[in-house]
Amino acid sequence: MADTITVNNLHKSYGKVEVLKGVNFSVKKGTILALLGPNGAGKTTTVRILSTLLSYDKGSVQVGGNDVKKDADKVRSMIGLTGQAAAVDELLTGRENLIMMGRLYRLTHNSAKERAQELLEDFDLVDAADRPAKTYSGGMRRRLDLAVSLIAAPPLIFLDEPTTGLDPRSRLAMWRIIEQLVKDGTTILLTTQYLEEADQLADNIIVIDNGKVIAEGSANQLKSKIGSDRLELTFNTIKVLNNATSVIKAKGLEVDEKELKLSLPIKDTNKDVRGILDKLAKDKIKIDSMGIHKPTLDDVFLSVTGKGKED
Ligand SMILES: Nc1ncnc2c1ncn2[C@@H]1O[C@H](COP(=O)(O)OP(=O)(O)OP(=O)(O)O)[C@@H](O)[C@H]1O
Ligand SMILES: [Mg+2]
């Protein structure tokens, strides 16, 4: 499948501060790439360059087969963009905003009206549709902004933190819409600080930190980089915990005396768990609770950046 977006050795400085230090990635047609990174990593800068809103210093950027510098107009005609800052006309109603944007994208009045109604329903804005946008809550405004960027169904969509500030229900609704867009052949680049979101939606994930790509792959590939599932066992007293520790004696065993918990890596879940339960049963050691921890993207982030998302 052809690459719809190709970014090579992208550099960008604001004054003396180099924000992008040689970023490389590509996005295949009809897939979702998630750009994951902490505050200030360079996500918005990258999206603004790709959508022709910002110039860059070095490297090359192709979007939909066009160079963003030489053929900026062609690029603009193929993309839809939702920024972190909303682009909604406060005095118009939600419905009017949608119809106006549809008309800007040359939909007929009737198809703009129909599409507006569809989006109002998808984004749960029907009740507020005919009120001026200035009366909307923050979350409603965010949803309207997203709906506006989807009105013309462009082949390529850039979403800069599409679900930041949405409540869980609206976030799920947004995910469903993004999944549907991709099913229909749209290519999507989204930025997010939510590992869960990248995990849920993206075919490919790029982790950027400090202006550089520090990890890349599918959610599963990234997770497998940081190791195996772990069996976690909790006990009622420190004495039982210590007994269990001496009975299990496995490689990679970690003991947390404060939480009365131990954990160890497992490969074959059925076999390994049964083996350990048998050992404990033989010595009549009673387990309080048991669970299997699968590596999450949070663990990936921690292991590649050396810090948690919130740091
Ligand atoms: N116009 C500007 N002038 C100077 N510095 C800027 C400008 N825009 C962004 N920066 C700096 O560039 C760096 C990257 O910013 P960017 O907005 O791309 O990060 P981000 O990954 O989108 O962060 P966030 O998660 O907070 O949205 C930050 O250190 C920011 O302060
Ligand atoms: Mg940003």
Instruction: State the average pLDDT over residues 206-225.
Output: 88
Counting every residue, how long is the chain? 311
Q: Which of 24-33, 79-88, 138-147, 155-164 comes out lowest in average pLDDT?
A: 79-88
Give bridge partners of residue 264 from the DSSP assignment: 231
Task: Tell me how far the alpha carbon of residue 15 lies from the centroid of ligand 1, in angstroms.
Answer: 12
Ligand 1, residues at Cβ distance < 6 Å: 14, 19, 37, 39-45, 84, 193
What's the mean pLDDT when you consider all of the chain? 89
Share of the chain above pLDDT 90, in %: 59
Report the separation in Å between the CA atom of 40 and the middle of ligand 1, taken as the mean of its atom positions.
Answer: 5
- pLDDT value, residue 308: 56
Structural domain of residue 275, as residue ranges?
228-294
Q: What percent of the chain has pLDDT over 70?
A: 95
Tell whether 249 is covered by a domain.
yes
Q: Is residue 302 part of a domain?
A: no
Do 265 and 123 share a structural domain? no
Statement: residue 85 has pLDDT above 60: no
Q: Which of 13, 16, 21, 45 most suits a substitution to test ligand 1, by most atoms within 8 Å of the C-beta? A: 45
> Does pLDDT of 234 surpass 70?
yes
Q: What confidence category does residue 84 fall into, taking pLDDT thresholds of 50, 70 and 90?
A: low
Regarding whether 258 and 211 lie in a shared domain, the answer is no
Residue bearing the CA closest to ligand 1, atom 6: 14
The helix-helix angle for 109-122 and 94-104 (nearest 10°) equals 130
Is the pLDDT at 310 greater than 60? The verdict is no
Same domain flag for 115 and 211: yes
Q: What is the pLDDT of residues 163-213, one digit of tens each?
A: 887 888 878 888 888 898 899 899 999 999 888 899 899 999 999 988 999
- Distance (angstroms) between ligand 1 centre and the Cα of 214 equals 18
Instruction: Tell whether 238 is covered by a domain.
Output: yes
Nearest CA to ligand 1 atom 13: 40
178 and 203 part of one domain = yes
- Which CATH number covers residue 100? 3.40.50.300
Ligand 1 centroid, distance to 60 Cα (angstroms): 20
Model confidence pLDDT, tens digit, residues 42-71: 999 999 999 999 999 999 999 999 999 999
Is residue 7 within 8 A of residue 31, CB to CB? The reply is: no
Query: Are residues 245 and 208 part of one domain?
Result: no
Same domain, 26 and 102: yes
Taking residues 87-114, report their average pLDDT: 90
Residue nearest to atom 31 of ligand 1 (CA): 40
- Ligand 2 centroid to Cα of residue 213, in Å, is 16
**Which residue CA neighbors atom 7 of ligand 1 most closely?**
14
Within a domain: 47: yes
Residue 80 has pLDDT above 80, yes or no: no
Q: Do 254 and 199 fall into the same domain? A: no
Residues 214 and 245 both lie in one domain: no
> Could you report the per-residue pLDDT of 108-143, keeping only the tens digit for each?
999 999 999 999 998 889 999 999 999 998 778 878
The domain total for the chain is 2
Question: Same domain, yes or no, for 89 and 36?
Answer: yes
User: Do residues 254 and 241 both lie within one domain?
Assistant: yes
Domain end among 209, 224, 239: 224
